[in-house]
Amino acid sequence: MKTPTLPLFDRPEGMTTHDYAFARLRQAIMVGSFRPGTSVTIRGLAEALESSPTPVREALRQLTSIGALQVLENRRIVVPHITPARFEELISLRIALESHAARRAVAHLTERQIERISAIDDSIEDEIRRGDQAAALIANQAFHRTIYTANPDQIVMPLIESVWLQLGPILGIAMEHVSELYVVDRHREAIDALRRRDEGAVADAIAADIREGIGGFDQQAIARLLKLAA
């Protein structure tokens, strides 16, 4: 199967074909629908999306330039493989970027926004209880994104999402082999710190959340997962 099935995705009216292709592929990669090493072809995707090569190629170019896909020497496009070293690198980058983003968001968050963030955290646990891993994952990303984007002049969010995209494939594998998502309860800690406007504590909570979440897999567990992906 060269071209995996794409998750559902409503196409907003007025959206260009190119933007639609980009958004749909991006979403698929972000939630781990593609396995590392999967090759993606322009024509295959154009057919799947019922369009033509031109807009699909543009979408693929964008995805490669943000690290979500990789172009090989022979110009073919694949979902990047993940080595343990690369994985560790991505996690440490997440910590650096997101604790920075969280710290700089604190001053901009309103009480109302903090309540909304707290509500998102509740919905994460709902989805986990319901067993919908993909939904829990998306809600978890919304939790983080809502915090960071409170800063209106922020530049960092696209960079963070680039890292998320690069973690997507390993995340998909992990979800297949973990019967149940456990989410470390650092979110409450972060929310409390937000209420206290304690920038340092917020940054620490976010860093711990990342480290103990997906980052908490030790090298052995990752190596095992990556072998499964090969």
Cα–Cα distance, 225 to 35 (Å, whole number)? 12
Q: Smallest distance from the beta carbon of 37 to DNA, in angstroms?
A: 13
Interface with a second copy (CB under 8 A), residue from 7, 52, 76, 83 = 83
Q: Smallest distance from the beta carbon of 51 to DNA, in angstroms?
A: 4
| Interaction pattern, residues 187-216, with DNA; x per rule: CB under 7 A | ------------------------------
At residue 40, what are phi and psi to the nearest 5 degrees? Answer: -120, 125
Nearest alpha-carbon partner for 64 in 81, 85, 78 = 78
Cα–Cα distance, 144 to 142 (Å, whole number)? 5
Could you tell me if 166 and 91 are in contact, meaning their C-beta atoms sit under 8 angstroms apart?
no
Q: Which does 145 bind (CB under 5 to 8 A by kind): a second copy, DNA, none?
A: none
Nearest alpha-carbon partner for 226 in 148, 174, 189 = 174
65 is an interface residue for DNA by CB under 7 A = no
166 is an interface residue for a second copy by CB under 8 A = yes
Cα–Cα distance, 220 to 214 (Å, whole number)? 14
Q: Number of residues in contact with a second copy, rule: CB under 8 A?
A: 33
Q: Which does 86 bind (CB under 5 to 8 A by kind): DNA, a second copy, none?
A: a second copy
Of 107-115, 157-165, 176-184, 212-220: span binding a second copy (CB under 8 A):
157-165
Identity of the residue, 50 or 218, whose beta carbon is nearer to DNA in the bound complex: 50
10 is an interface residue for DNA by CB under 7 A = no
Overall size of the chain counted in residues: 230
Of 31-39, 106-114, 121-129, 158-166: span binding a second copy (CB under 8 A):
158-166
Q: At what angle do helices 133-148 and 111-130 cross, to 10 degrees?
A: 170
Interface with a second copy (CB under 8 A), residue from 24, 104, 144, 187 = 104
Q: Smallest distance from the beta carbon of 81 to DNA, in angstroms?
A: 16
At residue 71, what are phi and psi to the nearest 5 degrees? Answer: -95, 130
Cα–Cα distance, 144 to 154 (Å, whole number)? 14
179 CB-side CA count, 13 A? 0
Q: Number of residues in contact with DNA, rule: CB under 7 A?
A: 21
Could you tell me if 175 and 125 are in contact, meaning their C-beta atoms sit under 8 angstroms apart?
no
Interface residues with a second copy (CB under 8 A)? 18, 54, 57-58, 61-62, 64-67, 83, 85-86, 88-90, 92-93, 96-97, 100, 104, 151-156, 158-159, 162-163, 166
